[in-house]
Amino acid sequence: MSDKSASAYWAANIRLITICLVIWAVASFGLGILLRPLLSGIPVGGTDLGFWFAQQGSILTFLVLIFFYAARMNKIDREFGVDEQ
């Protein structure tokens, strides 16, 4: 892999990681802590949405992000020719 290709590969990797971390931060800290009072009137599963995000939503969001990251990294690896055969 050339230096230019390696730089593009790592730029794509870091961009994907940044996107995933921002989504996770918004779901866990933003919706679960900062916006909890605004979400308290919306019922979900017998409790309010703010409490649900603080207890379950951030964990489920993280799990979805793990699978998204793995699938997207496989695609990026194939694009740059560093995938596992």
CA distances from 38 to 24, 32, 63 (A): 19, 10, 25
Domain ranges for the chain, please list them: 14-78
Q: How far apart are CA 34 and CA 85, in angstroms?
A: 45
Beta strands in the chain (DSSP E): 43-44, 47-48
Measured in Å, how far apart are the chain's first and last C-alpha atoms? 16
- Phi then psi for 48, rounded to 5 degrees? -85, 160
pLDDT at position 4 is: 86
Residue 70 has pLDDT above 80, yes or no: yes
Give residue-wise pLDDT tens across range 33-61.
888 888 888 888 888 888 887 778 788 89
Residue 31 has pLDDT above 80, yes or no: no
pTM for the complete prediction? Answer: 0.79
- What's the mean per-residue pLDDT of the chain? 88
pLDDT at position 2 is: 81
